Amino acid sequence: MSVNKSKPVYSPLHADAAGRFHILLGYAEGGDALSRVLGELRTEAPDSLGRTRVLLAGTPIAPFVDPGLAGVQGFGTLGELLAECRSLLERSSMGTRVYIAGPEHFIGRVLQIALEFNLNPDEVRTEAQGTLARRVHCVHCRATTEEVRTNRTRCSGCSRWLMVRDHYSRRFAAYMGVMVDAEAPGELPPLEEIYP
């Protein structure tokens, strides 16, 4: 077990009825958690449904379609969803709550944008669902390697073998990757899939 304090901790998503505007962002397996939030808003804060938007990718939008909501949008790619997220936050007012559900790498990307807007922990809630695959930031060449499932990985930028650490950067939305065999070239630990 790592004692690293930078590793994010998640808890099940619930609606925050104190919010005035709600933005629900889901990717892949995140759909169910957002359904739960929407259900809670319908009972606890029905007035705010007209100020609630849902942005999804990689998960069906049909269960969310409701003319009572301010908007429900599906996107073909993660990049398109993130671009709309940034544009929406640019137009949003204080009093907004952001709910993020999906794989950890997705949550990290959205939080990275939320950070630009000075959103604090009392305005953003997250629930991790789906793959544990990590985004890895190479501390040597600064390239990011996506969807890493193993204890070590080839850097997409400089091709070094990187050990995937538990040290997480919110600013880079990635775990740190450090060269494995810097001191003993060619000496590599067995390759194991540990982030399924």
Partner 1 sequence: MNDAQGIPVVVKAVEQVTPLIRHFTLGAVDGGPLPAFSGGSHIIVVMRAALRTHRNPYSLLSSPRRRDIYEIGVRRMEESRGGSHFMHDQVEVGSRLEIAHPVNLFGLDKIARKHVLIAGGIGITPFLAQLEDLHGGQVPYELHYSVRSPEHAAFLHRLQDREGGRLHVYFDSEGRSIDFDALLSAQPLGTHVYVCGPAGLIERVIATARGYGWPDSHLHWEQFSAPPVGEAFDVFLARAKLKVHVPPDRSLLESIEAAGVQAPYLCRGGVCGFCHTRVLELEGELLHNDHFLSDADKARGKSIMPCVSRARCTSLVLDL
The region of 7-15, 112-120, 163-171, 184-192 touching partner 1 under the rule CB under 8 A is 112-120
Kindly tell me which residue out of 2, 11, 43, 120 binds partner 1, with binding defined by CB under 8 A.
Answer: 120
Classify strands 134-138 and 124-128 as parallel, antiparallel or unpaired. Answer: unpaired
* CA–CA separation, 105 and 65 (whole Å): 26
Place of tokens 């880079």: 172
Q: Is residue 89 part of the contact set for partner 1 (CB under 8 A)? A: yes
Of 64, 2, 59, which Cα lies nearest the Cα of 39?
64
Q: At what angle do helices 104-116 and 78-91 cross, to 10 degrees?
A: 30
Ordered strands of the 152-154 beta sheet: 144-148, 134-138, 174-179, 161-169, 152-154
Task: Find the angle CA(153)-CA(101)-CA(192) to the nearest 5 degrees.
Answer: 20
The region of 6-14, 16-24, 102-110, 127-135 touching partner 1 under the rule CB under 8 A is 16-24
CB of 117 to partner 1, least distance (A): 4
Kindly tell me which residue out of 21, 99, 161, 175 binds partner 1, with binding defined by CB under 8 A.
Answer: 21
Q: Is residue 7 helix, strand or coil?
A: coil
Of 111, 50, 58, 62, which Cα lies nearest the Cα of 80?
58
53 in Cβ contact with 69 (< 8 Å): yes
Place of tokens 């705010």: 48
- Mark residues 48-87: x for contact with partner 1 by CB under 8 A, - for none: ----------------------------------------
CB of 41 to partner 1, least distance (A): 13
CB of 95 to partner 1, least distance (A): 3
Q: Is residue 46 helix, strand or coil?
A: helix
The region of 12-20, 58-66, 144-152, 156-164 touching partner 1 under the rule CB under 8 A is 12-20
Q: Is residue 20 part of the contact set for partner 1 (CB under 8 A)? A: yes
Kindly tell me which residue out of 1, 3, 94, 184 binds partner 1, with binding defined by CB under 8 A.
Answer: 94
CB of 74 to partner 1, least distance (A): 24
The region of 14-22, 58-66, 131-139, 164-172 touching partner 1 under the rule CB under 8 A is 14-22
- Name the residues that contact partner 1, by CB under 8 A: 18-21, 89, 92-97, 117-123
